[in-house]
Amino acid sequence: MKRYFILENEKEDISTQHEEIDRSLMNFLIRRIKIKETELGGDWENPFKIIEYTFEGLPGYGFSNYNTKKDMERKIIEMLYENDKIGEEVYEFKNELDVNRQKIIRTIRKFLNFILSK
């Protein structure tokens, strides 16, 4: 049986890797999301379900469960940029190694995982 020891500085590194999200941005997205489920072919045994995700007060930025996650991510980035929640450095993909950009992208991905798991 092997035992592994984690040093204090490694604990901090591990915990910061998992908690590096922008809380205000996450709350902004969660407060505005509206989920609408529609069933087509209600008389069938297995009706076709479409789940639409829209943002309250921000028309035109919705997507459905049949979009890819990358498309959803791009749509959210576009929405946040056009409503002055993020800057050009995130929207135009200038520097993908920028810490702030990575934090925002991680937040959006965590948000998508949260709403798609429901």
> Which tens digits make up the pLDDT trace of 63-75?
998 999 999 999 9
The answer to whether 64 touches 50, Cβ cutoff 8 Å, is yes
pLDDT of residue 86: 84
Residues 6 or more apart whose Cβ sits within 8 Å of residue 5: none
List the one residue out of 87, 94, 102 whose CA is nearest residue 17: 102
Average pLDDT over residues 75-85: 90
pLDDT of residue 69: 93
Backbone angles phi, psi at 61, to 5 degrees: -115, 25
pTM of the model: 0.75
Decide: helix, strand or coil at residue 59.
Answer: strand
Residues 6 or more apart whose Cβ sits within 8 Å of residue 89: 95, 98, 100, 101
State the Cα–Cα distance between residues 30 and 90, nearest whole angstrom.
Answer: 20
